[in-house]
Amino acid sequence: HRPTTTRILVTEPLAESGLALLREEAEVDTRYKIPHEELVRIIPEYDALIVRSGTKVTRDVIEAGERLRVIGRAGTGVDNIDLRAATERGIIVVNAPTANCIAAAEHAIALMFAVARNIPQAHQAMQRGEWDRHRFVGTAVVDKVMGIVGFGRVGGEVARRARGLGMRVLAYDPYLPRERAQALGVELVSLEELLATADFISLHVPLVESTRNLINAERLALMKPTAYLINVARGGVVDEDALIQALDEGRLAGAALDVFSEEPPRDTRLATHPKIVTTPHLGASTTEAQIGVATEVARAVLMSLRGELAPTT
């Protein structure tokens, strides 16, 4: 027994691969679906907290965490964690930025085909006993233009796959060096040019102040009426009211959304809209990615607790 046991609280399902690693060095409590007040009440007992995207790690949680030294995010986006409050208290925030990139990219490609070939609508029609081969004529993706907004790890994986499908790929990313884009066979353009040119627009930016409502009414108006919008990044990046309006007015062909400004979305128009295909934030939900993310975040949390990792996020 150690003189003072390190205690870790996990508030959302974490694959066994990660839990096993954590248990080698600490006492681990799993409290899934814990109400916010309860989290605030028990957090003083823990040295580390591990969450996915469902737990809101707000200032009150962080300030109640008297012994809290590390917050681990089993995934990429840290928009559910109050980073400023954590920094103020010297708490390290670590994420798992690599293990679920391919899963997110694969989901974006899956959603592209879902909208291009009307797969969900056709499946639903067959479930109703219908057999209609004319209503669901789709659109090819070969020789079409894929526009990638945000060219980080996920955007890069989407680009490789789109290139493999015979698409021309445009990217918008204020931080991407032109040489890196060229090396990947991608043309770096302005956001306006991308929106006006692409047939499929896929979003891969984090939700931060500068990307909130990035795809607003004005930018939706730049898109072609035949274009499709795909979002597996974060809901807050798209103005959902403006999106619905653009679809209703025939200024956009369709959209595929895996993420919503509020999850689950209270706005029922999103999941029921005939031109929107939805999935419940499944971008990272493959068995492989969940094992990878659990291991990656567990290692980062343990390293931080041992003092081997400097604050990065």
Please tell me the distance from the alpha carbon of residue 171 to that of residue 54, in angstroms, as a whole number. Answer: 30
Q: Which of 234, 240, 273, 296 is catalytic?
A: 234
Residue 73 known to be catalytic: no
Residue 281 known to be catalytic: yes
Looking at the Cβ atoms of 188 and 255, the one nearer to ligand MLT is 255
Q: Which of 73, 204, 273, 281 is catalytic?
A: 281
Looking at the Cβ atoms of 52 and 144, the one nearer to ligand MLT is 52
Give the rounded distance of the alpha carbon of 229 from its chain centre.
15
Please tell me the distance from the alpha carbon of residue 4 to that of residue 6, in angstroms, as a whole number. Answer: 6
Looking at the Cβ atoms of 79 and 199, the one nearer to ligand MLT is 79
Residue 153 known to be catalytic: no
Q: How far is the CB of 257 from ligand MLT (least distance, A)?
A: 13
Q: Quick one: angle between helices 101-116 and 119-127, nearest 10?
A: 70
Q: Which of 38, 88, 218, 263 is catalytic?
A: 263
Residue 311 neighbours by CB under 8 Å, 6+ apart: 87, 92, 93
Q: How far is the CB of 117 from ligand MLT (least distance, A)?
A: 25
Q: Is there a cis peptide before residue 35, judged by omega within 30 degrees of 0?
A: no
Q: How far is the CB of 232 from ligand MLT (least distance, A)?
A: 8
Query: Pick from 143, 147, 144: which is nearest to 158 by CA?
Result: 147
Structure tokens at 212: 């909130």
| C-beta of residue 100 within 8 angstroms of C-beta of residue 76 | yes
Looking at the Cβ atoms of 53 and 121, the one nearer to ligand MLT is 53
Question: What are the CB-based long-range contacts (under 8 Å, 24+) for 21-25?
Answer: 21/295, 21/298, 21/299, 21/302, 22/50, 22/298, 22/301, 22/302, 25/302, 25/305
Looking at the Cβ atoms of 254 and 292, the one nearer to ligand MLT is 292
Summarize as ranges the residues that interact with ligand MLT (CB under 6 A). Answer: 52-53, 75-77, 100, 283-284
Q: How far is the CB of 21 from ligand MLT (least distance, A)?
A: 18
Residues noted as catalytic: 234, 263, 281
